[in-house]
Structure 1
């Protein structure tokens, strides 16, 4: 899991915690999460220094549910945002729709899938 962490990115702390939640999740719960979400999210996050890192949240295949660093082979949705924007979304201080409308969040691929990320983050936060 330490391979998820990236110095200089607050996002990596949130995603490392999310990865822990997925690791501890019973198989039945993973199946339920996959059934609800059925998607692969790629997050292209840029920090304040202009450095970009890519993470993938896989909730499509029960055997690979989790968070990894690096680009996905076939993401359902790619979200491009800053480190601060992701943190505000994860903390519930920023609405995803508002972030998208103001240009703070750019989405490529299945836009409707992007709306499911909020529920995934809330589920993880509740389990922490």
Structure 2
């Protein structure tokens, strides 16, 4: 995953939407290194690698993530068509567009 994509996510992060959240979003990219987002009560920390106890794990390509985050790809459609695989608290994945609203 390019640092540019990560920087865009960090810039779009909405701390108000993350108030009271204590969650780890693990991303396993088919075409890049793994990253996780550690969201703790309105604060975001992005780390490269694997978290040992993520709230939800998402497996996808970086293009699929970009598409979901910019609204070109419906997350549920990506899930149903196999472009996105999720394990753990799958409902958390639906909050990504709320946590990172598009410009």
- Normalised by the length of structure 2, the TM-score is 0.82
Ranges of 4+ aligned residues in structure 1 off by more than 4 Å:
none
- Name the counterpart of 2:34: 54
- Name the counterpart of 1:99: 78
Q: Which has the larger radius of gyration?
A: 1
Cα contact 1:81–1:105 (8 A) shared by 2: yes
Q: Cα distance 1:36–1:20, how it changes in 2: closer, same or farther (>3 A)? A: same
- Normalised by the length of structure 1, the TM-score is 0.68
Q: Which runs of 5+ in 2 are unaligned?
A: none
- Name the counterpart of 2:27: 43
Q: Which runs of 5+ in 1 are unaligned?
A: 1-8, 23-28
- Name the counterpart of 1:13: 4
| Structure 1 or 2: more helix by fraction | 1
1:118 to 93, 97, 103: 97
